[in-house]
Structure 1
Amino acid sequence: MCGIFGVLLQRGAPIERDAVESLMSRLYVLSESRGKESAGLHAYLPSKRLAWTVKGTQSAADFLKTDSFRDAMGAVMLGAYGVGAAPQEPLVLLAHSRLVTNGTAALPQNNQPVRSGRVSVIHNGIVVNVDTLWAAHAELQRFAEVDTEVLAAMLDASLRGGAGSAQATRRIYGALKGAASMAWVHDGLPLVTLATNTGDIYLAMDRQSQMLVFASERYILEQVLRAAGPEDRVPKVDAIEWLSAGNALCFDVGGAMAPQRHVLAQEALLADDPAPPLAEPGLSAASTVHHDSFTGRVEAIGVLTRLADESLVRYGEASVRALRRCTRCVLPETFPFIAFDHGGVCNYCRSYRPRYGGMHPEETRKSFIASLERYRRNTAGPDAIVPFSGGRDSSYGLHLIKKEFGLKPVTFTYDWGMVTDLARRNVARLCGQLGIQNILVSADIKTKRDNIRKNVSAWLRQPDLGMVPLFMAGDKHFFRVVNELKRQTGIQLDLWCANPLENTDFKSGFCNVSPDFDKKRLDYLTLGRKARLAGYYASRFLKNPRYLNSSLQDTFGAFLAYYVEPRHDFYFMFDHFIWNEDEVNRTLLGEYEWELSPDSPSTWRIGDGTAPFYNYNYIYMTARGFTEFDTFRSNQIREGQITREQAMESIMVENRPRVPSLRWYLDTINLDFNDTIRRINTLDTLGLHR
């Protein structure tokens, strides 16, 4: 999940050198929102057989300041423009701003652009069957972990075998699974191909089709072109064009061929090269001189100086099973504010109002769909924004929105450093298969992870169950982000897919905030409860000054985003019709080959990097013998979806510590596994896990 962008110029295109450099700078800066962990450039002069590829471990904005980038841009612009006002030679500039998924950014071969043979590629998305593709093409050589390499290698092999650009591109999309929006060029051709199976490419051409500018988002391209003042002398473009899912475009910078569009859609892929080949220029056998450079720190693969002692992790299943529990649900006596009546039934059960009581499983769904008609657009563009974490509820919700509701959604993912690669792969599965855009909004991940480490370190000095949600504060900005995206896209409707059975009153309960049995939304707190919650946090900040660190501004912003940010034209879908776990799992696993975590039997909470540590394992289980699974399964009992016996057996398995995921979390925020687990183990004051 990255940002791809670029500028393509034919000889004589009506744009001066300074304007091109200004366009590229703005594209880099704005595309940084999609990934800040590395950046790169591939510059190509096809008529001179010269190419420059620069990769860096910096953010895009910092990459622009490097000598390597400036030297490459200076050389290629001199080669293209000479001393003229217009380019004297065709020019290709392909660029990338990366959010790291497959392969560390510290190794040059994992960063983009990626070259294999004579093909250079920039790619946004994730190829989820990358290992299968390499195995199916054993004749191809793999040098990197990044999935983009297999695309470049397969394209190069197809062209060596006599295929044209359109033909080679179709073959790629017929073989890959996942999401792929890419731009690629062969160093023996003056053709650049843009292609997407999700619709994450927008482009603009001048009226003579001598210049093409593209980016991953309409908003980015709009801002870049809007910022071009008269002094930039950027040629007039008629309109920004959306390269929708299942489509591609070939642009000939040599000028011999008009821009050619071709189809990658499934019906076309079912045939063997269904469309006649484009009248492309011939593949040149002349070799191209490549100038490659890498800027930034190249880090050796680290070796843990201290092995994690997994035997420190405890789970006293027998003691946990023996806790006194509600006779109707499975909440234990250690749950905040719990009280049992003479029959052993807890106050949470007695006060519970069934969410789905009396709801007809089909009619309520139809009624909800009908209520969205006023948001439906007749144009080709999207009509709903869907926050998409890659978790099971947002995945299933997206399936319904596209296939059953008939809406045209655009998704967004707010990556704050704890979205796992597994979640990103599931995002790619759904978006690729359904042909849906994914706007990735990437925080400064290094800073976010540093903030988590500082707050967890402060907490470990004075453990307090009420302060645990502070570790998740960094992700609450997504409420602000969705409002920004609505303003940028002009879309009114946002649909949220959290299910109401995930309600967890215990997190605020540990802050001495009593449960609100009448609340209508998962995220709702009365004004009085918000004040008590804020007061609790303030008192703990004063008691433990280590919380007063550089993360404070981010934490305060998260509180405002979650509890104060206005929300209009939004719906929690599953408040309006029945959410059923069996239906969710059957759909995701059966239709999308949705990926599970090897250390969990559940489909829930497997894409959230924080979950094993605090959402259900390890802190709450150690201290009080329950997790989020206890509350979730109890709500299912109250809705009549499962029996108490089924719930008990489920939680005994689901609550087991997920050690590999625990290790990933602590490694990611750079905390020692052994010291952290030992400290958490001291919370077992009830003796449940000894």
Structure 2
Amino acid sequence: MLSETRGKESAGLAIKSNVEREIGVYKDSLPASELIKTKGFNEFWNQYFKNWEKHKSGPNYIQLLGHTRLVTNGFSSNNENNQPVTKSGGVAVHNGIIVNVDKAWTKHKDLTRVYEVDTEFLLDLYMQRLKTEDALSALKNTLPEIEGSVSTGIITDKSDLLLLYTNTGSLYYYSDTSLGIFIFSSERFILNHLLESYGIQKNDGEIDVKWLHPGSVLVLDPNNLNFKLLKFTEGSIDQKVFQVGSQKKFQIKNFSPSNTSTAVIPHVSENQKERLLEFNLEKIRLLKRCTRCVLPETFPFIYFDKDGVCNYCKHYKKQEYLGIEKLNKYADEIRNPKAEPDCLVAFSGGRDSSYSLHYVKNILKLNPIAYTYDWGMVTDLARRNQARICGKLGIEHILVSADIKMKREYIRKNVAAWLKRPSLGTIPLFMAGDKQFFYYAYYLRKINSLRETILCENLLERTNFKSGFCGIEPYFDDEHNFTLTTSGKLKMLLFYGKEFLSNPSYLNSSLYDSAKAFLTYYFIPHSYFNLFDYLPWNEKEIETTLINEYDWELSPDTTTTWRIGDGTASFYNYIYYNVAGFSEFETFRSNQIREGMIDRKLALEKIEEENRPRFESILWYLNTIHLDFDNTINTINKIPKLYS
């Protein structure tokens, strides 16, 4: 139940009993809070706990491996893809993503792929190694085949042992032989909360929860709760420790609902659908643009002086960085001397947050925990890149998952409402669901006793035209290039109120979520440490580092590396460009010109390429929120163009 914050798309439990010599598994595509209320789950539970007394004495034990899932590889509608995963006599729970899973299966022709979930390869290869090797050696020889992030617990039908391994540090455990318990979880807070709720604590009031460090394996003998900690990087393995026993094998029984259907994405004629996307480049080229930057005449509240320079350029203030020396000094102040986590890094999986995580860990030598708020629009590409970074750096990754099904339904309702009365000012409603990010950033820092929250906000990514389309004039003060005043915020509220009254379709079940997002973003104080207040943003260095050092994955439908992990950006930028003749790329490239990073000629070349419609991403977005591609794009195309 406590782990449900990490994923609500499916849940499951494995129960291993050495009385029955069985491993029972029950899982379904339901949140844990719903799963435990089902008749099937309760019958499964009673199968092993109806005679609990026989487990309470002697060497008898019960092992439970539970998991709540955020779907990445493999549809949850096929129950075999859900966790715990069973294969070849093994049962595993796994957090993370194996990014080379397809290549790995191709390499191992001796293994047969049955499911879609990536955990299957890890488990299948481990079980094959276990035929000729002891438990530790089998795991050690499996891991070099894996790329990405892995935090896993494995039990098998061949022995009593439980193996825990993490390459990110996303595992915590508590052992108490006097109580006869050993418990592990993916986050410290989850385990602390569980233990506190049962009044389990040391004499001094502190709970002795241990962290399984990145690259470590823990092997537990459940008969006596003896366990061994090892780091595979430190010398050889003691082959005499925890050998596979010769006891009678366990029988694996699956009590799960027989749901093996696979969700089918409707086949589409790509050529036919892609042709619907407009790219009115020749007309947009005729727009008058600032002679210094690339903002066009359709930009809200823009005007040009006699030399053709826009008011946004005239009021622009170059970034003043605090400097590397101050950055290093601050890092020294917050660094944990015990090399335990000391800061939280906001981690979207985009290029800036990925590079920042690299910089915080490798350059500043801090010990970060990465944090992602997944509201349903974090793409699989972003998740794979997150796995690459965290796996290679050995960084714990806390993922807070919203009720993704519900969030996507909110998005669908707001986009459907918008299509009835399109307005460029109300497009931000599509992204309202991600604003709770700020709440959880504060919350996670507090419960993990971290010294700082680090944002990776590129200060060049200013999108003030979004408020401009709400009728709010730009306000330039002495400290900021652009800021939204209190009166501006009130004007925005009035604008949205008017839009909602004019279009009652907005008055749907998403309204409370959208209102909460607005308050969270605009009215709750945000006090965070931003890396790029100190460090100049360097596009070439960032891209080179990520691609060369982390094999960072690019998107096949665009040449840019910006916002490729954001599932909604390609859609709203298509609308802005199609209707207004510009998108976020114009504001970003214009700020680069003002900072002296690129010249205007290069910026013009880049925006023409970057504004090309991203068909695959737009199709994914509309399929994900269950809106018809043809109807949606045709409606957008009919909106009167500001450049006509």
Q: Report the residue type matching 2:86 in the other structure.
A: R
User: Do the aligned partners of 2:355 and 2:545 also contact (CA within 8 Å) in 1?
Assistant: yes
3-state SS of the aligned residue for 1:127?
coil
| 1:45 paired to 2:1 | no
> Hey, what's the Cα distance between the residues in 2 that align with 1:444 and 1:687?
40
User: Do the aligned partners of 2:55 and 2:61 also contact (CA within 8 Å) in 1?
Assistant: no
Q: 1:276-295, aligned counterparts within 5 Å?
A: 276-284=238-246, 286-295=248-257
How far the C-alpha of 1:66 sits from its partner, in A, is 1.7
- Per-residue CA distance 1:181-202 (angstroms, 9 max, x = gap): 0000111110000110001111
| 1:481 paired to 2:443 | no
Q: Report the residue type matching 1:397 in the other structure.
A: S
Indicate which of 597, 605, 608 corresponds to 1:641: 597
Indicate which of 124, 127, 148 corresponds to 1:153: 124
Which 5+ residue runs of structure 2 have no aligned equivalent? none
Larger mean CA deviation between 288-297 and 494-503 belongs to 288-297
User: Using a 3 Å threshold, how does the CA distance of structure 1 residues 457 and 105 change in structure 2: closer, same or farther?
Assistant: same
How far the C-alpha of 1:410 sits from its partner, in A, is 0.5
Q: Report the residue type matching 1:606 in the other structure.
A: I
| 1:206 paired to 2:176 | yes
Q: Report the residue type matching 1:424 in the other structure.
A: R
User: Do the aligned partners of 1:332 and 1:626 also contact (CA within 8 Å) in 2?
Assistant: yes
User: Using a 3 Å threshold, how does the CA distance of structure 1 residues 128 and 87 change in structure 2: closer, same or farther?
Assistant: farther
3-state SS of the aligned residue for 2:501?
helix
User: Using a 3 Å threshold, how does the CA distance of structure 1 residues 238 and 462 change in structure 2: closer, same or farther?
Assistant: closer
Indicate which of 263, 267, 287 corresponds to 2:231: 263
User: Do the aligned partners of 1:207 and 1:237 also contact (CA within 8 Å) in 2?
Assistant: no
> Hey, what's the Cα distance between the residues in 2 that align with 1:87 and 1:666?
58
User: Do the aligned partners of 1:177 and 1:429 also contact (CA within 8 Å) in 2?
Assistant: yes
How far the C-alpha of 1:458 sits from its partner, in A, is 0.6
3-state SS of the aligned residue for 2:130?
helix
User: Using a 3 Å threshold, how does the CA distance of structure 1 residues 530 and 392 change in structure 2: closer, same or farther?
Assistant: same
Q: Report the residue type matching 1:662 in the other structure.
A: I
Counterpart of 1:573 in structure 2 is 531
User: Do the aligned partners of 2:458 and 2:532 also contact (CA within 8 Å) in 1?
Assistant: yes
User: Do the aligned partners of 2:328 and 2:364 also contact (CA within 8 Å) in 1?
Assistant: yes
| 1:657 paired to 2:613 | yes
How far the C-alpha of 1:298 sits from its partner, in A, is 5.6
Indicate which of 618, 638, 641 corresponds to 1:682: 638
Indicate which of 406, 416, 421 corresponds to 1:447: 406
Larger mean CA deviation between 289-298 and 498-507 belongs to 289-298
> Hey, what's the Cα distance between the residues in 2 that align with 1:585 and 1:657?
22
How far the C-alpha of 1:295 sits from its partner, in A, is 3.5
Counterpart of 2:295 in structure 1 is 331
> Hey, what's the Cα distance between the residues in 2 that align with 1:519 and 1:259?
61
Q: 1:87-98, aligned counterparts within 5 Å?
A: 89-98=60-69
- Per-residue CA distance 1:398-443 (angstroms, 9 max, x = gap): 1111111111111110000000000011111111110101111000
Indicate which of 370, 376, 388 corresponds to 1:429: 388
- Per-residue CA distance 1:565-588 (angstroms, 9 max, x = gap): 2334x2221122210101110110
How far the C-alpha of 1:521 sits from its partner, in A, is 6.6
How far the C-alpha of 1:294 sits from its partner, in A, is 2.3
Which 5+ residue runs of structure 1 have no aligned equivalent? 1-28
| Number of positions where the alignment pairs a residue of Structure 1 with one of Structure 2 | 640
Q: 1:139-538, aligned counterparts within 5 Å?
A: 139-160=110-131, 162-208=132-178, 210-229=180-199, 239-255=208-224, 258-265=226-233, 268=234, 274-284=236-246, 286-295=248-257, 299-302=261-264, 304=266, 309-356=273-320, 364-518=323-477, 525-538=484-497
| 1:137 paired to 2:108 | yes
User: Using a 3 Å threshold, how does the CA distance of structure 1 residues 639 and 238 change in structure 2: closer, same or farther?
Assistant: closer
Q: Report the residue type matching 1:443 in the other structure.
A: A
- Per-residue CA distance 1:632-670 (angstroms, 9 max, x = gap): 111111111111111111111100000010000000000
- Per-residue CA distance 1:591-621 (angstroms, 9 max, x = gap): 100011100101101000001100x2x1001
Indicate which of 540, 544, 554 corresponds to 1:586: 544
How far the C-alpha of 1:519 sits from its partner, in A, is 7.4
> Hey, what's the Cα distance between the residues in 1 that align with 2:482 and 2:252?
54
> Hey, what's the Cα distance between the residues in 1 that align with 2:59 and 2:39?
25
- Per-residue CA distance 1:290-341 (angstroms, 9 max, x = gap): 2213248665533538767221111012222221111111111111111111
How far the C-alpha of 1:173 sits from its partner, in A, is 2.4
Q: Report the residue type matching 2:155 in the other structure.
A: V
Counterpart of 2:31 in structure 1 is 59
Counterpart of 1:112 in structure 2 is 83
> Hey, what's the Cα distance between the residues in 2 that align with 1:155 and 1:44?
19
User: Using a 3 Å threshold, how does the CA distance of structure 1 residues 644 and 213 change in structure 2: closer, same or farther?
Assistant: same
3-state SS of the aligned residue for 1:309?
helix
How far the C-alpha of 1:561 sits from its partner, in A, is 1.1
Counterpart of 1:73 in structure 2 is 45
> Hey, what's the Cα distance between the residues in 2 that align with 1:289 and 1:521?
66
Q: Report the residue type matching 2:80 in the other structure.
A: Q
User: Using a 3 Å threshold, how does the CA distance of structure 1 residues 633 and 681 change in structure 2: closer, same or farther?
Assistant: same
User: Do the aligned partners of 2:385 and 2:552 also contact (CA within 8 Å) in 1?
Assistant: yes
> Hey, what's the Cα distance between the residues in 2 that align with 1:264 and 1:479?
37
Aligned-residue sequence identity (percent) comes to 44
> Hey, what's the Cα distance between the residues in 1 that align with 2:81 and 2:96?
14
TM-score by length of 2: 0.95
> Hey, what's the Cα distance between the residues in 2 that align with 1:591 and 1:144?
31
3-state SS of the aligned residue for 2:97?
strand
User: Do the aligned partners of 1:387 and 1:495 also contact (CA within 8 Å) in 2?
Assistant: yes
User: Using a 3 Å threshold, how does the CA distance of structure 1 residues 585 and 169 change in structure 2: closer, same or farther?
Assistant: same
How far the C-alpha of 1:258 sits from its partner, in A, is 2.5
Indicate which of 487, 512, 521 corresponds to 1:553: 512
> Hey, what's the Cα distance between the residues in 2 that align with 1:546 and 1:278?
68
User: Do the aligned partners of 2:97 and 2:150 also contact (CA within 8 Å) in 1?
Assistant: yes
Q: Report the residue type matching 1:539 in the other structure.
A: K
> Hey, what's the Cα distance between the residues in 1 that align with 2:244 and 2:161?
10
> Hey, what's the Cα distance between the residues in 1 that align with 2:469 and 2:47?
62
CA RMSD of aligned residues (A): 2.2
> Hey, what's the Cα distance between the residues in 1 that align with 2:585 and 2:366?
32
> Hey, what's the Cα distance between the residues in 2 that align with 1:634 and 1:278?
65
How far the C-alpha of 1:134 sits from its partner, in A, is 1.2
User: Do the aligned partners of 1:159 and 1:165 also contact (CA within 8 Å) in 2?
Assistant: yes
- Per-residue CA distance 1:535-588 (angstroms, 9 max, x = gap): 1111111111111111011011101111122334x2221122210101110110
Q: 1:606-617, aligned counterparts within 5 Å?
A: 606-614=564-572, 616=573
User: Do the aligned partners of 2:167 and 2:394 also contact (CA within 8 Å) in 1?
Assistant: yes
How far the C-alpha of 1:279 sits from its partner, in A, is 2.3
How far the C-alpha of 1:169 sits from its partner, in A, is 1.8
User: Using a 3 Å threshold, how does the CA distance of structure 1 residues 532 and 95 change in structure 2: closer, same or farther?
Assistant: same
Q: Report the residue type matching 2:402 in the other structure.
A: A
> Hey, what's the Cα distance between the residues in 1 that align with 2:591 and 2:314?
12
> Hey, what's the Cα distance between the residues in 1 that align with 2:227 and 2:129?
21
Q: Report the residue type matching 2:227 in the other structure.
A: P
Counterpart of 1:605 in structure 2 is 563
> Hey, what's the Cα distance between the residues in 1 that align with 2:479 and 2:565?
26
User: Using a 3 Å threshold, how does the CA distance of structure 1 residues 284 and 517 change in structure 2: closer, same or farther?
Assistant: farther
User: Do the aligned partners of 2:417 and 2:505 also contact (CA within 8 Å) in 1?
Assistant: yes
Q: Report the residue type matching 2:210 in the other structure.
A: E
